[in-house]
Amino acid sequence: MNMGMQFLEFAQVCEHLEGIPGRLEMIEQVAAVLPRLDDDELPVFVRFVMGRVFPDWSPKKLGVGPNLLYDAVAYVVGTKRETVREAINATGDAGLAVERLLAKKEQTSFFVQELQLIEVYREFERMAAAEGQRSQREKLRVAQGLFGNARPLEGRYLARLMLEELRIGMGEGNVRDAVARAFEIDVRLVEHAHQAMNDLGEVALLARRDPDALSRVTIEPFRPVKMMLAQTGTIAAQIEDHGEVAVEYKYDGSRFQFHKVGDVCRIYSRKLEDVTGSLPDIARLLMEATDHDVILDGEAVAVRDGRPMPFQYVIRRFRRKHEIDSMMEKIELVPRVFDILYLDGETLMDRPLEERRKALEEMLGAHVAEQFLVGDAAAAEAIYADALNLGHEGVMVKVPGSPYTPGVRGRLWVKVKPGVETLDLVVVGAEWGEGRRAGTFGSFLLAVQDQGRLLPVGKVATGITDEVLAELYALFKDKVLAHSGKEVMLEPEVVFEVGYSEIQTSPNYESGYALRFPRFVRVREDKSVDEAETLDMLVERYARQKNGQGSF
Ligand code: AMP
């Protein structure tokens, strides 16, 4: 009989993976573990090893911040919150600090109940389910129970899982490859199913139980899929590579995914959060515009007197949970729908854009974004000029024959906009300000992502007004993981859009690169950490810049 995987075994696998430098070997190690797991454990293991607890489409959130973690560990080892905080400061890593604290305590404890992997998951589910006024106390109680039964090594990974940053370098791509290898399945099939299901855990289960079904996996209403993304590029190159292209305005708003079945609808943000309650006007307009069951992809834009208003107005509405009515009077949002992924029970993701577009025009009475099919660069440049005159951000240049690829930032969609090049980077630390900036953070440490790791590329201090500085302090003050002198380490949750003049190689930062003249542009509230720039993309930009092609 399978006795089930112990959490200690999971921790040992993670520790082992942490010591492996090569990607292929990591994949092999994970692939060797997967077939041993039972049906309950397999999806949990797959998500845990990527540092995630729940499926990406799921609205469930653990809701554990650094303070709750400090309190739980302090209680278990019999010390003060400050001692835990100091230990984390000293190591710069919550996992290692918790491990050391538990090691000290271990000599004195007599009873430890073995933790099973599945049990840890169920406890996490209880934390996520805790709601209302008593939720923090309930979460704390569960966390205390877990740490109370954890050996030091288990504590390392429990802490990191609770903060959803495992730091072992198993990103989505590696885990996908491991699933394919473990069950001897074509990796493209695994990827296809992953795009539709938006949960590698469940895909792994299907890969084992019924691999033939992977190709038939379809997208389902009320289970959001990741948004397809765009790379920066030029009109000329896109036409040269693909001939005729579909040019659309690039609206400066906020992305949404609209799901409707019968008279029920939900709207999801780019981070796949349910924002239906904040956007009653978008919901109403789209419900009125179609009788079909659909999943639509579009941009919510703010308009005043027929002209688009800047993005800030839109994001304010997305954020707003209360007082929707009075906000609506001030900011009117309208949908611009540019894609359709599902129509009356059928997945359209694999159909070419031109077919999806036809379906969209036929089923939606209004709010379809404009699109121009053009084959020559001059005509496309003219549309680009129009877009800017109309107050849009630029244009999107799409390949008419392309499928919809969720979560992929490829060249099938290219964005063209004027002005400085910017990067979307994760804020991983900050430094206390001096002089006028005393009492707030004066500069921020930025990182790119690389297979689940976050690697610093520079600091930004310019471009931030006093007002924004105060807002940023409010945003980050509860995300402090550790202090060291003037520097703090922050929970990586926020993405900044940052301008720069040049990318340079640099021994000063872990990524091996640094930004010259970084300048703060805005907080990308609509972007999550896993949408930030990757090291590979940074390297590619660097190469292009070196080849004298400018940063585009
Ligand atoms: P960026 O956020 O700079 O990576 O640019 C991509 C974003 O542009 C998408 O995520 C959408 O929110 C937005 N967007 C605006 N207009 C369009 C369009 N016509 N097609 C696709 N995305 C668009």
Q: Give the torsion sign (CA, 522, 524, 525, 526).
A: positive
**CA 416 to chain centroid:** 23
CA of 394 to the centre of ligand 1 (A): 10
**Residue 68 neighbours by CB distance under 10 Å:** 17
Contact 250 CB / ligand 1 (< 6 Å): yes
Query: Which ligand 1 atom is at minimum distance from the Cα of 227?
Result: 10
pLDDT at 111: 56
Query: Which of 7-11, 142-146, 485-489 comes out lowest in average pLDDT?
Result: 485-489
Residue 256: CB within 6 Å of ligand 1?
no
Q: Could you tell me if 26 and 14 are in contact, meaning their C-beta atoms sit under 8 angstroms apart?
A: no
User: How would residue 502 be classed by pLDDT, with cut points 50, 70 and 90?
Assistant: confident
Give, using CA atoms, the residue closest to atom 1 of ligand 1.
Answer: 230
* 250 labelled catalytic: yes
- Does this model's pTM top 0.95? My answer is no
Over the stretch 52-95, which tens digit does the pLDDT of each residue have? 999 999 989 998 888 899 999 999 999 999 999 889 888 888 99
More confident residue, 434 or 54: 54
CB of 271 within 8 A of CB of 407?
no
Number of other residues whose CB lies within 10 A of the CB of residue 532:
24
Q: What average pLDDT does the chain have?
A: 91
| DSSP string across 74-105 | HHHHT--HHHHHHHHHHHS-HHHHHHHHHHHH
Q: Which pLDDT value is given to residue 115? A: 94
Atom of ligand 1 nearest to the CA of 369: 19
Burial of 445 (0-12, 13-18, 19+ CB in 10 A): buried
Q: Once rounded to an integer, what is the mean pLDDT over residues 199-208?
A: 97
Confidence of residue 297 (pLDDT cuts 50, 70, 90): very high
The model's pLDDT over 172-190, given as tens digits with 9 standing for 90+, comes to 999 999 999 999 999 999 9
Q: How confident is the model at residue 551 (pLDDT cuts 50, 70, 90)?
A: very low
CA distances from 519 to 492, 536, 540 (A): 19, 22, 21
Q: Is 495 in the pocket of ligand 1 (CB under 6 A)?
A: no
Instruction: Tell whether ligand 1 has an atom less than 6 A from the beta carbon of residue 98.
Output: no
Rounded distance from Cα 5 to ligand 1 centre (Å) = 43
Give per-residue pLDDT as tens, 270-292: 989 999 999 999 999 999 999 99
- pLDDT at position 525 is 87
The answer, yes or no, to whether any atom of ligand 1 lies below 6 A from the CB of 41, is: no
- Provide mean pLDDT across the span 346-363: 96
Q: Is the dihedral of CA 350, 351, 357, 360 positive or negative?
A: negative
Of 139, 250, 271, 398, the catalytic one is 250
Please name the residue ranges forming H helices in 226-335: 235-242, 280-289, 311-319, 324-330
